[in-house]
């Protein structure tokens, strides 16, 4: 853990059917690794990586869960505190795309209503097996107010971009909210001694080693 | 697959100590690397533990035949069309018929289930065996049939495949190569039948079914309804029990800390428990853990306490950890140090089952880390965790005065300030001793003896504590009373007597070591047992200065002094020089530590007029002498415990000319110098039993034991400099930013006060709650 300095800590969860590549998206982003035979996730895994946005260090704490864990033991613990979700399907398995609706419902039921959601069509390397056209994913995303991207964890295509995009979205929401608070409501609603979140979080001090960690 | 000849020898090895459950259990637990599961036939042991249970070995072939026939019938029933799709095609049933009972429909549904299972089977761990085509099919079929047979469990659940795979591996390993079997040799027929390679799948199914009979609850499906149901989920309940009941009772400080940093236990427990720790440890270590687990706990009731034991083992690191670091530790559990492999967690759990309280927790924490939780010491009466330095300065200067000019004791002072130091030293020595004993297969006896001893001490202290009035002479607030010089002298006397007790123990163990553990096991066992009890006793005495010492120890001092070839002419006690030579060996440190502040309380709590009230318990070798009967009234619980303990061993042989019989204790006031000269320390350190003093197990080898042992348990990736703690705190504060959170004042900042408008989210609509 060379890197314990950060300005913001965002918890982002990976959801989607079993076998769509959630764990490999995680390992590609946090360790730049891909394992064709990666073990199935039992319960939960997590990893972290820090990135820079707007000269701020954002530490992403990314949680990965077993695709089968829907409606199951750890659901509420899993979503608690999550500010972003990558909803992953496999472009070569139409069933995994059909199930996206069910995953969205689960988010509505268990996650914070302001959670930022990105739809991710993974395994674009399986071109010859594609079962879900890009347009379908795009359309579904815009209909449901999600952002959208297609990735390949195997080929390392768009993986960093996907995470960067969602983290940036979260960051913009948080910082704009903080600004609004500073402008308007601080005096009324907050004890000035407690300060506001921004100043509290920005005293993070010197930053080091923004590379992948864990 | 093995040849028949090798299998035969392994078969014999497996049952060398008998074929009953109890005998196999003992062998698995105590034979270490020579466990029948390691050098014999693991699959046979597992079958005995899980499937055959108490059936005599003659019935095993019959039982095997039955369960194999059962599995074959299952296959015929459910795999017929999957294995032979042409038979399905031959049926006169319309494949597209709308009948839900149509075999076509069943097959289609089955194929969906099998595809789900196969997806995980293909992702089994890297072990090449798992990825052989035939093995994958076998695992798939077993899981599929298990789900068919148990439809109420909610079908296949991820993780089951990793419980089954090691079982299949173990059974396949032990199968006999048929080519090596002579057809007419009936003597080998039982072995050949039990380990028939044609029935690996059948037998693995039988084992897996039995295991799942207990493990299924870890996988229990949940009704897909409201979030209220979540709260009743059995796994969440189990996690809560482990955290809020078991851990809270055993190590409240840790349980509270985990709650404070908001680590929800189900997050990591779900994998620990569902896979029976399969992802937490190396494969071979896991098998050893399962050996012990199946042997002693085939119904998996100890799982909760195994989890607690695992948490206890890393509790010091956890106490320093924030949310993220704690979770990382749980997800990547640090490999337990070699002598205490993962299987020892089962031992710990069994111990905790019998000691389901803070004292049990303290014992285990102590055993593995050499440190004792300051607050939670239950065996020891509460002692001030930090004793002010001024007291020590007085103490030291007094020592200097009486002993002549000496260099300042900078390092010793540090050791003296570590309240846990002494116990840690002794504990370290005792631990090593027990490990040696483990190899001899005698640790159970020792452990039992120690357990009993511990209960004795506890009971004893509880009865005493009520009558005890003032404690803590060097209390943080009260100045030392004027009689402190007497106090110190008394304490020194006491210390040297304690040292002498250890001396005797050390001599006995030395003899034992010299004998090379040849000869009667019984006798060695007794020796070790007695030694353990004595070390424990000294520990107890150091922990509680009010415990009076048995006067019988005094002769022992003299005897040793007489017998020791290294005896010096100096009448001064070895104790007096220790601080100066501290670094040379752990023995010196033990001695040094014996003069810790803990003991300084002796004069307060145990006035000199008290010597008659002594616990004779631990002197097992003298237990049946007459004078103890006089004390029966004062110590009834102890006495009764003694009679339950193993038969009093004979007095261990001492290299002693003659033991002085019952020399009456000198009036305490005269004990300005300890009576008996003690052999010089160099003798001890250089002796053949110096292994007992291995520096790595005694935290005291560093002047700052706490930090030393802490860094030892810290996993490398997580260690950080001194600033770690501060940063940990600040990162906690940053957590306040997560807007899912509903805690404290920050929640007002994030959520309630300024709720996000939809515009903030990239112009996207916020998700509406369903319904």
Q: Do residues B172 and B42 lie in contact, with contact meaning Cβ atoms separated by under 8 Å? A: no
3-state helix, strand, coil in chain B (%, to 5): 65, 0, 35
Burial B358-386 (b: 16+ CB within 10 A, else e): bbbbbbbbbbbbbbbbeebbbbbbebbee
Q: Residues near B620 by Cβ (< 8 Å), separated by ≥ 6? A: B529, B530, B533, B642, B645, B648, B649
C-alpha–C-alpha distance, residues B260 and B265, integer Å = 12
The percent of residues above 70 in pLDDT, for chain B, comes to 51
Q: Say whether B767 and A39 touch across the interface (CB within 8 A).
A: no
Please work out, in degrees rounded to the nearest 5, the angle formed at the alpha carbon of residue B140 by the alpha carbons of B135 and B145: 130
- Residues B139-181: tens digit of each pLDDT: 999 999 999 999 887 789 999 999 999 999 999 999 998 888 7
pLDDT of B19 strictly over 70: yes
In angstroms, how far is the first alpha carbon of chain A from the final one?
6
The closest CB to that of A189, out of B124, B717, B748, belongs to: B748
Q: Say whether A172 and B760 touch across the interface (CB within 8 A).
A: yes
Q: Say whether A200 and B733 touch across the interface (CB within 8 A).
A: yes
Please work out, in degrees rounded to the nearest 5, the angle formed at the alpha carbon of residue A132 by the alpha carbons of A126 and A135: 115
In a structure prediction context, what are the per-residue pLDDT tens digits for chain A, which is 214 residues long? 444 688 999 999 999 999 999 999 999 999 999 998 889 999 888 899 999 998 999 999 999 988 875 556 677 888 989 999 999 999 999 999 999 999 999 898 889 999 999 999 999 999 999 999 999 999 999 999 999 999 999 999 999 999 999 999 999 998 887 766 655 443 333 333 333 333 223 333 333 343 444 4
What residues of B are in contact with residue A79 (Cβ under 8 Å)?
740
The closest CB to that of A81, out of B161, B279, B740, belongs to: B740
Kind and range of the H or E run holding B45: helix B42-46
User: Which of B122, B131, B762 would you mutate first to test chain A, the one with the most A CBs within 10 A?
Assistant: B762
Helix-helix angle B160-174:B133-149, to 10 degrees:
120
Q: Note which residues in 358-387 of chain B have CB less than 8 A from chain A.
A: none
State the maximum Cα–Cα separation within chain B, in Å, rounded to a whole number.
108
Instruction: State the smallest CA–CA distance between residue A181 and chain B in angstroms.
Output: 7
Instruction: State the smallest CA–CA distance between residue B703 and chain A in angstroms.
Output: 28
Q: Note which residues in 176-205 of chain A have CB less than 8 A from chain B.
A: 176-177, 180-181, 184-185, 189-191, 194, 196-197, 200-201, 203-204
Q: Note which residues in 124-143 of chain A have CB less than 8 A from chain B.
A: none
Lowest-pLDDT range, B18-22, B47-51, B690-694?
B690-694
Q: Does B267 touch chain A (CB under 8 A)?
A: yes
Counted across chains A and B, CB pairs separated by less than 8 A come out at 198
The closest CB to that of A9, out of B328, B717, B734, belongs to: B734
User: Is B310 exposed, middle or buried (CB count within 10 Å of its CB: 0-12, 13-18, 19+)?
Assistant: buried
The closest CB to that of B267, out of A77, A174, A194, belongs to: A77
Q: Say whether A180 and B736 touch across the interface (CB within 8 A).
A: no
Q: Which residue of A has its CA nearest to B717?
A: A1
Q: Which residue of A has its CA nearest to B735?
A: A9
Q: Do residues B453 and B617 lie in contact, with contact meaning Cβ atoms separated by under 8 Å? A: yes
Label the pairing between strands A116-122 and A44-53: unpaired
Task: Output the six-digit token pair for B664.
Answer: 């009456």
Burial A39-49 (b: 16+ CB within 10 A, else e): bbbbbbbbbbb
C-alpha–C-alpha distance, residues B315 and B338, integer Å = 18
Q: Say whether A9 and B236 touch across the interface (CB within 8 A).
A: no
Task: Output the six-digit token pair for B514.
Answer: 């010299």
Instruction: State the smallest CA–CA distance between residue A177 and chain B in angstroms.
Output: 7
Give the CA distances from residue B451 to residues B312, B456, B526, in Å, rounded to whole numbers and listed in that order. 19, 9, 15
SS3 string of A112-124?
CCCCEEEEEEECC
- Residues B551-567: tens digit of each pLDDT: 544 444 444 443 434 43
- Residues B708-741: tens digit of each pLDDT: 333 333 333 333 333 333 343 444 334 333 443 3
Instruction: State the smallest CA–CA distance between residue B506 and chain A in angstroms.
Output: 44
pLDDT of B192 strictly over 80: yes
Q: Do residues A157 and A24 lie in contact, with contact meaning Cβ atoms separated by under 8 Å? A: no
What residues of A are in contact with residue B757 (Cβ under 8 Å)?
none
Label the pairing between strands A8-16 and A56-65: parallel
C-alpha–C-alpha distance, residues B383 and B763, integer Å = 62
pLDDT of B578 strictly over 90: no
C-alpha–C-alpha distance, residues B495 and B487, integer Å = 12
pLDDT of B472 strictly over 70: no
Task: Output the six-digit token pair for B237.
Answer: 């309940």
Q: Is B16 helix (H, G, I), strand (E, B) or coil?
A: coil
The closest CB to that of B740, out of A9, A82, A214, belongs to: A82
Is the reported ipTM for this assembly greater than 0.95? no
Instruction: State the smallest CA–CA distance between residue A203 and chain B in angstroms.
Output: 9
């Amino acid at each position: 853990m060379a890197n314990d300095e950060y300005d913001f800590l965002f918890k982002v969860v990976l959801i989607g059917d079993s076998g769509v590549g959630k764990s490999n998206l995680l390992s590609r982003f946090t360790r730049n690794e891909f394992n064709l035979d990666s073990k199935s996730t039992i319960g939960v895994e997590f990893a972290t990586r820090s990135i820079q946005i707007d000269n701020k260090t954002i530490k992403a704490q990314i949680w990965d869960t077993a695709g089968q864990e829907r409606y199951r033991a750890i659901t509420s613990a899993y979503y608690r505190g999550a500010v972003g979700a990558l909803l992953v399907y496999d472009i070569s398995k139409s069933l995994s795309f059909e199930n996206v609706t069910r995953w969205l419902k689960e988010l509505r039921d268990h996650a914070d209503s302001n959670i930022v959601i990105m739809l991710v069509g993974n395994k674009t390397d399986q071109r010859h097996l594609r079962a879900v056209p890009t347009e379908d994913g795009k359309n579904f995303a815009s209909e449901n107010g999600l952002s959208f991207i297609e990735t390949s964890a195997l080929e390392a295509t768009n993986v960093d971009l996907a995470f960067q995009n969602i983290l940036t979205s979260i960051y913009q929401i948080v910082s704009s909210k903080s600004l609004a608070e500073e402008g308007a409501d601080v005096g009324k609603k907050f004890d000035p001694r407690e300060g506001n979140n921004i100043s509290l979080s920005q005293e993070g001090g010197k930053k080091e080693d923004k590379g992948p960690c864990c | 697959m093995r040849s028949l000849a090798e299998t035969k020898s392994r078969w014999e090895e497996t049952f060398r100590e008998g074929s009953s459950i109890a005998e196999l259990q003992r062998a698995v637990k105590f034979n270490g690397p020579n466990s029948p599961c390691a050098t014999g036939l693991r699959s046979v042991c597992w079958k005995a533990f899980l499937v055959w249970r108490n059936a005599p070995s003659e019935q095993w072939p019959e039982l095997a035949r039955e369960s194999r026939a059962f599995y074959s019938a299952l296959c015929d029933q459910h795999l017929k069309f999957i294995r032979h799709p042409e038979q399905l095609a031959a049926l006169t049933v319309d494949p597209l018929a709308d009948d839900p009972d149509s075999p076509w429909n069943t097959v289609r549904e089955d194929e969906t289930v099998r595809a789900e299972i196969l997806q995980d089977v293909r992702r089994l761990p890297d072990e090449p065996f798992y990825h052989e085509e035939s093995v994958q099919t076998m695992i798939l079929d077993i899981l599929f049939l298990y789900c068919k047979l148990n439809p109420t469990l909610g079908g296949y659940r991820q993780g089951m495949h990793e419980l089954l795979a090691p079982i299949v591996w173990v059974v396949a390993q032990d199968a006999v190569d048929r080519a090596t079997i002579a057809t007419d040799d009936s003597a080998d027929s039982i072995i050949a039948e039990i380990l028939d390679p044609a029935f690996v799948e059948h037998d693995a199914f039988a084992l897996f079914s039995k295991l799942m009979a207990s493990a299924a609850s870890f996988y229990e499906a949940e009704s897909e309804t409201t979030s209220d149901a979540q709260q009743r989920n059995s796994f969440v309940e189990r996690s809560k029990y482990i955290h809020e009941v078991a851990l809270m009772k055993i190590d409240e400080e840790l349980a509270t800390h985990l709650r404070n940093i908001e680590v929800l236990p189900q997050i990591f427990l779900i994998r620990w428990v569902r896979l029976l720790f399969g992802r937490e440890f190396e494969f071979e270590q896991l098998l050893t853990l399962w050996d012990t687990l199946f042997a002693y706990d085939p119904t998996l009731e100890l799982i909760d306490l195994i989890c607690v034991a695992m948490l206890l083992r890393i509790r010091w690191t956890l106490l320093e950890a924030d949310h993220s670091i704690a979770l990382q530790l749980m997800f990547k559990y640090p490999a337990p140090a070699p002598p205490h492999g993962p299987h020892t967690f089962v031992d710990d759990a069994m111990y905790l089952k019998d000691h389901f309280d803070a004292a049990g927790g303290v014992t285990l924490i102590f055993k593995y880390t050499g440190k004792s939780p300051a607050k939670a010491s239950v065996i020891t009466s509460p002692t001030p965790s930090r004793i002010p330095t001024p007291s020590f300065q007085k103490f030291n200067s007094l020592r200097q005065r009486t002993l002549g000019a000496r260099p300042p004791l900078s390092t010793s002072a540090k050791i003296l300030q570590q309240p846990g130091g002494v116990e840690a030293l002794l504990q370290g020595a005792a631990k090593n001793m027990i490990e040696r004993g483990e190899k001899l297969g005698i640790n159970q006896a020792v452990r039992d003896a120690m357990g009993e001893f511990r209960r004795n001490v506890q009971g004893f202290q509880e009865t005493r504590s009520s009558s005890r009035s003032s404690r803590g002479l060097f209390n943080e607030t009260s100045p030392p009373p004027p009689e402190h010089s007497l106090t110190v002298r008394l304490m020194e006397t006491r210390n040297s007597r304690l040292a002498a007790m250890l001396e005797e123990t050390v001599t006995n163990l030395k003899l034992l070591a010299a004998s090379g553990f040849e000869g009667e096991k019984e006798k060695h066992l007794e020796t070790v047992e007695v030694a353990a009890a004595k070390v424990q006793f000294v520990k107890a005495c150091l922990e509680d200065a009010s415990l009076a010492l048995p006067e019988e120890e005094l002769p022992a001092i003299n005897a040793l002094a007489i017998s020791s070839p290294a005896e010096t002419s100096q009448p001064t006690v070895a104790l007096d020089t220790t601080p100066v030579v501290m670094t040379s060996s752990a023995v010196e440190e033990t001695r040094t530590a014996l003069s810790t502040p803990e003991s300084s309380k002796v004069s307060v709590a145990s006035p000199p007029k008290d010597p008659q009230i002594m616990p004779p318990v631990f002197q097992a070798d003298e237990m049946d002498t007459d004078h103890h009967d006089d004390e029966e009234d004062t110590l009834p619980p102890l006495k009764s415990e003694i009679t339950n303990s193993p038969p009093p061993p004979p007095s261990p042989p001492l290299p002693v000319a003659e033991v002085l019989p019952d020399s009456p204790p000198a009036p305490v006031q005269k004990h300005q110098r300890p009576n008996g000269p003690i052999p010089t320390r160099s003798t001890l350190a250089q002796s053949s039993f110096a292994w007992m003093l291995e520096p790595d197990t005694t935290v005291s080898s560093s002047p700052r034991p706490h930090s030393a042992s802490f860094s030892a348990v810290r996993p490398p990736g997580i260690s950080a400099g001194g600033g770690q703690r501060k940063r940990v705190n600040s990162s906690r504060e940053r957590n306040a930013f997560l807007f899912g959170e509903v805690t404290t004042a920050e929640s007002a900042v994030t959520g309630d006060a300024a709720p996000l408008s939809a515009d903030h989210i990239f112009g996207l609509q916020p998700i509406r709650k369903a319904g």
